[in-house]
Amino acid sequence: MQRDFHARGQAGMERVVQDGIQRVCTETHNQPPAELARRLEADQMKTIAFPQASLIGDWKSGERIAQNGRGMQWTDAPGTPNGGSCYNCHQLSPKEISYGTIGPSLAGFGAKRGSGPELQRYVYGKIYNAKAYNLCSQMPRLGYSGTLTEQQIKDLVGLLLDPASPVNQ
């Protein structure tokens, strides 16, 4: 891979080098032994920087981030805010008919579960580093990878949990 790939734009060659999790998930076809998975998930949990104050941001901004599928590609200008590509894989607002199905539907997520501090923490952490909860999840580690900022992740927490968000209508 070192020979066949070249850096382009913001996509540098360090990206072809697998980290421990990528290696374990590749080698086990995403079925890691339970004990190893627990240990590596705990390591990933330590990477999550939970903010002190409320984790619920602006759902309107969250909706824009969820719609935006750009960011981190060699064609994307570095320095412009990245999107979360959420609708690529999840249903969120029932108004959006163009949604993917690789991840579970999140329509009504907060309406079904509330918006308590534990749930806020779970949603923030899951977006920041999905591998802390499910080692070989197909979901990108959006905070850990530097794709989304703390504020952007809070806005996505708002999109999922704010009772006024279209996700919960």
Q: Per rule CB under 8 A, is residue 80 in the interface with other proteins?
A: no
For residue 139, the SS3 value is coil
Whole-number Å distance between alpha carbons of 25 and 139: 13
- In 3D space, the residue among 54, 85, 100 whose CA is nearest the CA of residue 147 turns out to be 85
The DSSP bridge partners found for residue 8 are 11
> Contact letters (x/-) for other proteins, 24-63, by CB under 8 A?
-xx--xx---------------------------------
Please say which residue, 148 or 161, places its beta carbon nearer to other proteins: 148
Q: Integer distance in angstroms from the first to the last C-alpha of the chain?
A: 47
Q: Per rule CB under 8 A, is residue 8 in the interface with other proteins?
A: yes
Say how many residues touch other proteins, by CB under 8 A: 40
Which DSSP state fits 15?
A: G
Q: Among the candidate windows 22-30, 54-62, 110-118, 159-167, which touches other proteins by CB under 8 A?
A: 22-30
Burial category of 34 from C-beta neighbours within 10 Å (exposed 0-12, middle 13-18, buried 19 and up)? exposed
Interacting residues toward other proteins by CB under 8 A: 1, 3-8, 11-13, 15-18, 21-22, 25-26, 29-30, 72-75, 87-89, 97-102, 131, 138, 140-141, 145-147
